[in-house]
Amino acid sequence: MKRLLLFAALLGCGSNPPPAKAPAQVAAQGLDYQDPTTGSYRLLRNPASTVTRLVLDLQGPQGEMTRGIGFNLKGGAGIRFGKFEDGLAVQSGGVYALGTFGISDPGEPVAVTGGVLPDNVLTVGVFQKDRGFPAQDSGAVLLRIAIEFEPAAGLAAGTEVALQILKAKVIPEDIGATTDDPFFLQRKLRMKDVVIAAGKVTAL
């Protein structure tokens, strides 16, 4: 019996092998972005993007005529929303006529706004100011935003970072039309809800 116990001990019978060590996590150094593959309104990667600063273009569907667009975008841990040269968190794509009669005057306020709300929510909008100027085709870059890497979040490389559109609206072509039946005028004063597709953000 003693010989059997000794033999079993030598073979390691009844003992569990030591657990394999988990691979060490590599700290992220930046961000990657994959464009959405579906959706009529989409946030697409701009060629000016870098590893630490993603520039995203909002592009709409070809042939849909609008007068402006705005949305709220919530970012997860690991990103912050950046600003452009003018200090705003949004940049117009040059589609909408921002001045009276479509003429840009440096001294005239324009309806381009953007900022960051609590809980890392970006709110931005670009709107055509003159109702008498024609609506524009949405099938182009309407505006752009910037997303920057936040090293203090301590993300591991390969972690997916949440990016969620909370709300999005456009000013339709016929908003405020006064030639319609007054019964329907109230409906023509409302902005139109749209869905914007955001891509996948991954820590590198």
DSSP state of 84: -
pLDDT value of position 5: 46
pLDDT value of position 132: 77
CATH code for the domain defined by 38-203: 2.60.40.680
pLDDT value of position 111: 85
pLDDT value of position 165: 98
pLDDT value of position 176: 62
Tell me the residue type at 76: G
Mean of all residue pLDDT scores within the chain = 86
Tell me the residue type at 109: P
Sorted by sequence, the CB contacts under 8 Å of residue 200 that are 6+ apart come out as 33, 34, 160, 163
Q: What is the pLDDT of residues 56-102, one digit of tens each?
A: 999 999 999 999 999 999 999 999 999 999 999 999 999 998 876 65
pLDDT value of position 98: 82
pLDDT value of position 9: 47
DSSP state of 106: T
Which residues are registered as beta bridge partners of 102?
none
Residues of the chain whose pLDDT is less than 50?
Answer: 4-11, 185
Sequence ranges of the domains in the chain: 38-203
CB-based burial of residue 74 (10 Å sphere; 0-12 exposed, 13-18 middle, 19+ buried)? Answer: middle
Residue of 162, 136, 119 lying closest to 68 (CA atoms): 136
Residue of 49, 70, 94, 61 lying closest to 201 (CA atoms): 49
Q: Which two tokens stand for residue 189?
A: 């004063």
